[in-house]
Every structure is written in C-alpha cells, then in structure tokens.
Structure 1
C-alpha cells in the first residue's frame, strides 16, 4: 500500500463522527430525509461506505469502491437545488464537530465535490437540446 498524504489533518474517528452526526440530521430534514429514505434502507452500511468515501477523498486511505456520480445520476428524485441543502447541513455538522481550520478545509473539499455532482444533475435534468451549463 502506498503512503498517502492527507489534504488536511483529521483522524478516521473524526470522519466517522461527522458522517454519523450528518446523517442523523439528514434523516430529520423535511426535504432531504424522504429522498434519502427512498434510497438508503440500511443506514449502518451506508454510513460505513460514506466514511470510506471521505477517507479516500481526504487522502487517508484508498478503501472506497463506489461511484457517487453514478449513484446520484440514477436517482431521479435528487435535484440540483438539493445540493445547497446538503452542503448547508454538512457545513453545520463540520462546524459543530471539528476545529475551525479542519472544518473549513473539509468544507472546501465537500463544496468542490458538491459542485461537480450538482453540475451532473443539472445536465441530466436539462432539456435535451439545451447547451451545457459550465458553472
């Protein structure tokens, strides 16, 4: 296994804590909760998978085998405006759970990923003859 340099200092335990707290908020969110309930039927394995995703994205380990873009694209009830809600809850969770510098670094990464996913969803939902949106 190759040595990886994380994008910012954080422990695997803190990643798991953030993911657990975040999804507790998602399940109670009036708009996001029902969408996630349509797709997540067993929360512990989902949270474990997303914890692996973030460990991979942050650069702690390479143990994630999913495709977030494909998963989001296959869910017609996920719409572009949901990413602002998702990121708002995620930022709130980061700020409540981590030191400010770590929260800000993780938030910046989440926002980059969120923009890319939102762009894919917006393209999916655009009229077939519409020009691509590049923002």
Structure 2
C-alpha cells in the first residue's frame, strides 16, 4: 500500500526545481564554495537530491541516505547557512510552481532545514548558551 503524495507535483517539476536551485547554489558567494568542496559530480548530486525530494513528497522510497550525517561529516556546514539556502529555494519554488504547491514544498523544506540546523548547533556549529 502506497501513501498519497503530500501535495500534487510531477517528477519533471521536482527535477526542474532541483536543477535551477543548484545552478544558483554554485553561483552563491557563501554556499557555492561549501558545496563545491564536497560535490565533484553535480548531475549525480542533483539526481540524489531529486530522489530525496521524491521520497519526502511522493513517498517513492527512491532515496537511501542520511542527510544529518552527511551535513555533519562535511565539517564546513553551519546552522546559519540554511537561511540563504532556504531563501534561494523559496525563490525557485515561487518561479517554477503554483503558489499552492510552492507553499506546501516550502513548508516541508523549512521543517527539514530547521531540523538540520538544530542538529548542527549541537555539533559545533555555534556555541550554546549556558
């Protein structure tokens, strides 16, 4: 038994968002170098992230990975980096999708981003106050 999608979207739309987003990431003055230090094969990375989103939205089970572990292992990802990441992502969503679909995907991305950011805070990203 498969679950219904979180919201209506096609594989082509997911791939389009991911492709445009990572083009912007590569050009971003802060995020570009962080990603560039770890991503050698952009098409493979984009395919993996598209699979992540198909899993998160369409429940396809096409993604096998641990985003928290990957971001922690990178060593140069800081919690505050999710602010410009999400801003760019929201801009792409607004350009490529209907307002309803963009809003639904944005809410999911922000929830995931908050989780990753909080996980990285406890991993040496920023000092915790006593």
TM-score under structure 1 normalisation? Answer: 0.91
Partner of 2:32: 33
Deviation, 1:3, is 1.9
2:55 corresponds to 1:64: no
Quote how far apart the aligned CAs of 1:76 are.
Answer: 1.4
Distance (Å, rounded) in 1 between the aligned partners of 2:83 and 2:6: 23
What is the match of residue 10 of structure 1? Answer: 9
What are structure 1's unaligned runs of at least 5 residues?
A: none
Query: How many angstroms apart in 2 are the aligned matches of 1:37 and 1:9?
Result: 32
Shift of 1:54: 0.1
1:3-43 Cα deviation digits (max 9, x unpaired): 22100000011000000000000000000000000010000
Distance 1:7 1:24 in 2: 26
- Aligned-partner SS, 2:3: coil
Q: How does 1:1-135 map to 2 (within 5 A)?
A: 2-125=1-124, 126=126
* TM-score w.r.t. length of structure 2: 0.94
Q: CA RMSD in A?
A: 1.3
Runs of 5+ unmatched residues, structure 2 = none
Give the whole-Å Cα distance in 1 for the aligned partners of 2:59 and 2:9.
Answer: 9
